[in-house]
Amino acid sequence: QSALTQPASVSASPGQSITISCTGTSSDVGAYNYVSWYQQHPGKAPKLMIYDVTNRPSGVSNRFSGSKSGNTASLTISGLQADDEADYYCSSYIRSSTPVVFGGGTKLTVL
């Protein structure tokens, strides 16, 4: 299956907000509300930040929010902090013999 499409990189200054897009198709992102977002710092395992498009796991800052419109899901981080600098990946269920697909990842740089 094809990976979901994310921008390779985004950057912003501390305190600002950014949005990372994740574009799929009508077979994955557009069809189901099973979109998750992960944060990964270098050398670490991915950490779940958003699940089911909009939900935050317990312990995740409310500066992180998720949304979806059509075939595109988005992750918004407000009030950027230095520790937000990391790679971010989206993932979706797809009705297929290969039922989970990831985006290519977006490197967030906090200037």
Closest separation in Å from C-beta 27 to other proteins: 14
CA distances, 88 to each of 12, 44, 80, 95, 96 (Å): 15, 12, 14, 23, 24
Q: Is 88 in the site for other proteins (CB under 8 A)?
A: no
The residue (of 103 and 108) whose beta carbon lies closer to other proteins is: 103
Q: Is 103 in the site for other proteins (CB under 8 A)?
A: yes
Binding other proteins (rule: CB under 8 A), the pick from 83, 104, 109, 111 is 104
CA angle 39, 72, 53 (to 5 degrees): 55
User: Using CB under 8 A as the criterion, which residues of the chain lie in contact with other proteins when the complex forms?
Assistant: 1, 3, 34-36, 38, 45-48, 51-52, 57, 89, 91-93, 97-105
